[in-house]
Amino acid sequence: MTALAIASFADEAAFRAGVAKADEAGRRVVGLWSPYPVEIGAIGEEMAAPIAWIAIAGGLAAAFLFYGFIWWTATQSYPFDSGGRPLHSWQVFLIAPIEFGALAAGVAGMIAFIVRARLTRLHHPAFDIAEVERASSEHFVIALACDADDGGDVLALLADAGAVHSRMVTR
């Protein structure tokens, strides 16, 4: 039977100490929650790495497509003599695609973020843990996997790291 040891910390230093101690003890970290951005090792790097590239690729693709569309409307679909300007006035045709490309990059980045950060899961099991709710406002929370029998050790370890509150949850 598995259980979770859940501990709340009041500040970042204690939180980091808790994570370090859990690592030392070889405990599997089930979840970490913090009320502001805290980077711990390389956690999440794999998830975040492509976001920038997706955004840039999305922006560039949209800009090029848009430019192509403009070229088509102005020179192929209905070419107009507009004040004797060349049909393909590329200098000024660049402006709208640049703006639109920036928007597209933002949209692509946002979509990538939502997908990569696994958002839109409004009923995630983590929300059943009362501490996680408080993690968004004041507490740092660590959840460690443990068996019912070594629960006491884990709680001690967390308390040692400076947890202000810890408890066992049995599933």
Binding residues among 45-104 for another protein as defined by CB under 8 A: 45, 47-49, 51-52, 55-56, 59, 69-70, 73-74, 77-87, 89, 92-93, 95-96, 98-100, 102-103
Q: Which of 34, 144, 146, 163 binds another protein (CB under 8 A)?
A: 34
Q: Which of 20, 43, 148, 156 binds another protein (CB under 8 A)?
A: 43
| CB-CB neighbours of 15 under 10 Å | 25
Q: Does 36 bind another protein (CB under 8 A)?
A: yes
Is residue 35 within 8 A of residue 139, CB to CB? The reply is yes
- If the CB atoms of residues 112 and 146 are measured against another protein, the closer one turns out to be 112
List own/partner pairs for 38-46 with CB under 8 A and 24 or more apart: 38/12, 38/140, 40/16
Residue 27 has phi, psi (to 5 degrees) of -80, 145
Q: Does 26 bind another protein (CB under 8 A)?
A: no
